[in-house]
A and B are shown apart, each in its own frame.
Chain A
Amino acid sequence: MADTPRVVFAGLASCFGCQINITNIEEHLMDVLGQVDLKYWQLTSSDPMPTDFDVAVIEGAVTTEAAKESVQALREGADAVITIGACAATSGIPGMSTEDHAADMDAVYGDKVPYVVADGAITPMAVKDVISVDFEVPCCPIDPYDFVEVLQHALYGSNIYRRSSTLCGECKNNERGCFYGRNTLCLGLVTRSGCGARCPNLGRPCNGCAGLSPDANVAQARRVADRAGVGAAALDSALRIFNQPIADEEVS
């Protein structure tokens, strides 16, 4: 890397809320920017993306051929690629149409597909399904402090490991009780921990924005949902919000 690591931010199909959220830590923003040479931020600039950089930060899902090419170019130029948010990690909200993308296109546009869509729209993909990703900041939107931690991890290294345990343990530490005794679906059973169970702590069930844990026991979670009266089908349906990849054998 160059003396001061050169960072670029790119936004793909998303609400740009994760990038916005980084700007919400005003009191620390200069401290964070002081550690990098911010070469490009799509949210704040209309200039073309520079070609020389060290760290690429990507928000959003890959939904077009052009986006695919641009993340490939980012990967080639960067020593480290960081994705931010659920759209980049799992294809998120744009990914809700991955199941039958062509049928969805047909239902929405019929024979009047606009030029910008017709020209290169592809089934939405997570960034990691296009290129290798070094670091991931989860959730919708990201916690900006998580972003700072991950950026520092990329810059300096870190001994913090990201567990694949699911959310309920963190939730218990908040002493808020469990939604499953209240006939309410909560995806904490299968969602990767790390956020501190902040939605349940605010009285809202988890909707899985941190992503399905690679060690999630979906089959058992479906049994829990059935027994609690909320139903396995409701659990499956809720998992689609963030396009969680559920293997068939897990669901059976």
Chain B
Amino acid sequence: MLYRVMDASELPKLIDAFMERYEVIAPVQSGRSVAFEPISSFDEIVLDYPTTLTSLKKYILPPRETLFEFSVDDADVTDYTLEIAPRVLFGAHACDINALNNLDLVFEDARYPDPYFEAHRAATMVVGINCSPSETCFCHLLDADEVRSGYDLFLQDLGDRYLISIGSVEAANILEAACELREATDEDRREFRRLTRERQEAFSADIPDIQEIPMLMDAFHKDEFWAELGGRCLSCTACSAVCPTCYCFDIADTLDEDGKTGRRERILDACTSPQFAQVAGGHNFRETGRDRVRHRMYHKLNGFNSKHGRYLCVGCGRCVRACKADISPIEVLRFFERKGTEDA
């Protein structure tokens, strides 16, 4: 990895350079929270922001997306190409970049190519920025607090300057042309290490650090805990709407008003929606909140690991705040902590 250092005052030049050729999407103030939105000026960006309400997923896997259009009379598919304007997702936190990397593992599987996902991904540059944990952050417990790939640039704020990891030639060219850069010094590296330690120590101590989570998930699959946790579920699907890694979808054909043409759409779905596991004939494989919530937690903290060797959950904490019934992976970690105490 190539590193460069740049004065903080150079940053607007980088954004201006991006804006010449790309749509720039960055964290901006939105009501009482921060949201990723297209910007038209550097001044709109909130650089030091708490986790956004929803994630960057909306730019890669939108809640609703047309897959193709069709004509009823011809019983045929109309040519349809998804065109995404080149863009930069600026200011992504490590957890969110790790989340995009997890989505890649699913949608860039060569056996099942997804041209829509690829169109979004190919048109998108990712520029990350360091963050300080808020009270619901637990990315460090799920190996998602640092990001090793999946970005074009990653900015580490060192106060009056940025230490920049360069991940792509495309971004490096823009950066070098727009900004004055220098080599990182020992002083820069010391400051980077100091700030990294400071971040690591800033996570909430109330969230238990549990080892061997996937194994514990298997061991306690039938525990009464799941009925208690799932019994609280409101079936609102807010958890998966805000989740940066929930990717399950439904497909539906919507007719235009004249009934002659229509669109096939991919609509993001949620395994906490009561009908998610209902099949033809009416049988529902996960009929209760217990079954649905447990399934979601297993995919996040166990099932994805078996297949891909890492947690699907990146510990961003969005569902912790979105769920009005206090259902979240943190509650699962607390359950394991209680079990450990009981056994000891």
Instruction: Say yes or no: B236 contacts A188, CB within 8 Å.
Output: yes
Q: Which residues of B contact A155 (CB under 8 A)?
A: 259
Is the C-beta of A23 less than 8 angstroms from some C-beta in chain B?
no
Instruction: Say yes or no: A172 contacts B324, CB within 8 Å.
Output: no
Instruction: Say yes or no: B242 contacts A189, CB within 8 Å.
Output: no
Q: Which residues of A contact B236 (CB under 8 A)?
A: 165-169, 188-189, 193
Which residue in B54, B234, B259 is a CB contact (below 8 Å) of A35?
Answer: B259
Instruction: Say yes or no: A169 contacts B241, CB within 8 Å.
Output: yes
Instruction: Say yes or no: A169 contacts B257, CB within 8 Å.
Output: no
Is the C-beta of A67 less than 8 angstroms from some C-beta in chain B?
no
Is the C-beta of B5 less than 8 angstroms from some C-beta in chain A?
no
Which residue in B234, B253, B273, B275 is a CB contact (below 8 Å) of A189?
Answer: B234
CB distance from A88 to the nearest CB of B (A): 23
Which residue in B238, B253, B259 is a CB contact (below 8 Å) of A159?
Answer: B253
Which residue in B63, B250, B270 is a CB contact (below 8 Å) of A161?
Answer: B250
Q: Which residues of B contact A148 (CB under 8 A)?
A: 257
User: Please, which residue of chain A has its CB at the minimum distance from the CB of B255?
Assistant: A152
Which residue in B35, B238, B254, B273 is a CB contact (below 8 Å) of A163?
Answer: B273
Is the C-beta of A115 less than 8 angstroms from some C-beta in chain B?
no
User: Please, which residue of chain A has its CB at the minimum distance from the CB of B33?
Assistant: A177
Once A149-B255, A164-B275, A224-B325 are accepted as A-B contacts, the answer to whether A175 and B54 lie under 8 Å apart by CB is yes
Is the C-beta of B81 less than 8 angstroms from some C-beta in chain A?
no
Once A168-B238, A172-B54 are accepted as A-B contacts, the answer to whether A217 and B259 lie under 8 Å apart by CB is no
Q: Which residues of A contact B242 (CB under 8 A)?
A: 172
Rounded to whole angstroms, the CA-CA distance of A163 and B284 in the bound complex is 13
Is the C-beta of A171 less than 8 angstroms from some C-beta in chain B?
yes
Work out how many contacts link A and B, with CB atoms closer than 8 A. 117
User: Please, which residue of chain A has its CB at the minimum distance from the CB of B272?
Assistant: A165
Is the C-beta of B83 less than 8 angstroms from some C-beta in chain A?
no
Instruction: Say yes or no: B238 contacts A176, CB within 8 Å.
Output: no
Instruction: Say yes or no: A177 contacts B53, CB within 8 Å.
Output: yes
What total of chain A residues lie within 8 Å of the partner, measured CB to CB?
Answer: 43
Rounded to whole angstroms, the CA-CA distance of A193 and B275 in the bound complex is 13
Is the C-beta of A180 less than 8 angstroms from some C-beta in chain B?
yes
Which residue in A158, A180, A213 is a CB contact (below 8 Å) of B235?
Answer: A213
Is the C-beta of B30 less than 8 angstroms from some C-beta in chain A?
yes
Instruction: Say yes or no: A31 contacts B258, CB within 8 Å.
Output: yes
Instruction: Say yes or no: A168 contacts B234, CB within 8 Å.
Output: yes
Q: Which residues of A contact B33 (CB under 8 A)?
A: 175, 177
CB distance from B267 to the nearest CB of A (A): 9
Instruction: Say yes or no: B63 contacts A173, CB within 8 Å.
Output: yes
Once A149-B254, A163-B274 are accepted as A-B contacts, the answer to whether A175 and B235 lie under 8 Å apart by CB is no
Q: Which residues of B contact A193 (CB under 8 A)?
A: 236-237
B248-279: which residues lie under 8 A (CB-CB) from chain A? 250-255, 257-259, 270, 272-275
CB distance from A216 to the nearest CB of B (A): 7
Rounded to whole angstroms, the CA-CA distance of A220 and B228 in the bound complex is 12
Instruction: Say yes or no: B253 contacts A164, CB within 8 Å.
Output: no
Q: Which residues of B contact A161 (CB under 8 A)?
A: 250, 252, 275
Instruction: Say yes or no: A166 contacts B324, CB within 8 Å.
Output: no
Which residue in B63, B232, B240, B251 is a CB contact (below 8 Å) of A217?
Answer: B232
Once A159-B252, A169-B237 are accepted as A-B contacts, the answer to whether A178 and B324 lie under 8 Å apart by CB is yes
Rounded to whole angstroms, the CA-CA distance of A177 and B50 in the bound complex is 14
Is the C-beta of B222 less than 8 angstroms from some C-beta in chain A?
no
Instruction: Say yes or no: A177 contacts B235, CB within 8 Å.
Output: no
Instruction: Say yes or no: A173 contacts B54, CB within 8 Å.
Output: yes
Instruction: Say yes or no: A152 contacts B234, CB within 8 Å.
Output: no
Is the C-beta of B283 less than 8 angstroms from some C-beta in chain A?
no
User: Can you pick out 19 interface pairs between chain A and chain B where the beta carbons lie within 8 Å of each other?
Assistant: A34-B258, A35-B258, A149-B255, A152-B255, A158-B252, A159-B251, A159-B252, A164-B274, A168-B237, A168-B322, A169-B236, A169-B241, A173-B241, A175-B33, A177-B33, A177-B53, A178-B322, A217-B289, A224-B324
Residues of B near any A CB (own CB < 8 A) = 30-33, 35, 53-54, 58, 63, 231-238, 240-242, 250-255, 257-259, 270, 272-275, 289, 322, 324-325
